Amino acid sequence: MFGHISSNTEHHWSAPNKHFIAAAGEFVGTFLFLLTGYLIHAMSVGFAPESATGGGNTNQTVVFIAIGYGFSLLVAAWVLYRVSGGLFNPAITLGLVLTGNLTPLRGLIFLPTQMLGAISAAAVVSVIIPVDIKLVETTLAPNMNIAQGLFLEMVRLTLSTYPSHTHSY
């Protein structure tokens, strides 16, 4: 009556439509997360008053970078988690597929979508900032070898807490 919409607003979309909507959410989320993160990273390093011994970033700069990526991910996930689950990371997507929390088909759709979102964000940032995009490249500490860095990243990803409910469609 009077144009009232019932509270039952369940959408009866087809499976391809659901996958497309979720993939769009992952692309936009990954793009926004990394665009903001890369810009904050570049600003933090570019405006750092000094560098640490050995040419690395100071502790203060590293904290600014970490907070920048953290808040960027927080906002992107907060806005888009209901659309796609807010994964925004191919490693997390692969882990969820391997543990059975995400269907293999959805994982196959998300992986290239997330990589495309990341590449697009890097391309936009490389046009926006007046310095080389390598400024935001993540590197290992001077005394850490590749095997140690790989192990540290695996442990970090294992300890990450992501929701097991990855999509609402």
CB atoms within 10 A of CB 140: 13
Looking at residue 121, its pLDDT comes to 97
The runs of H, that is alpha helices, within the chain are: 15-46, 59-84, 90-98, 104-128, 146-159
Q: Is 94 exposed, middle or buried (0-12, 13-18, 19+ CB in 10 A)?
A: middle
Structural domain contains residue 119: yes
Q: Can you read off the two tokens belonging to residue 40?
A: 């904050």
CA nearest to 92, candidates 157, 140, 149, 18: 157
Residue 55, domain member (yes or no):
yes
Structural domains counted in the chain: 1
Looking up residue 26, the CATH number of its domain turns out to be 1.20.1080.10
Query: 0.95 exceeded by the pTM?
Result: no
Q: Going from the first residue of the chain to its last (169 residues), give the mean pLDDT of each consecutive group of 10, the final group possibly shorter.
A: 47 85 96 96 84 78 92 95 92 90 95 97 93 83 87 75 48
Counting beta carbons within 10 angstroms of the beta carbon of residue 48, is it exposed (0 to 12), middle (13 to 18) or buried (19 or more)?
middle
107 within a domain of the structure (yes/no): yes
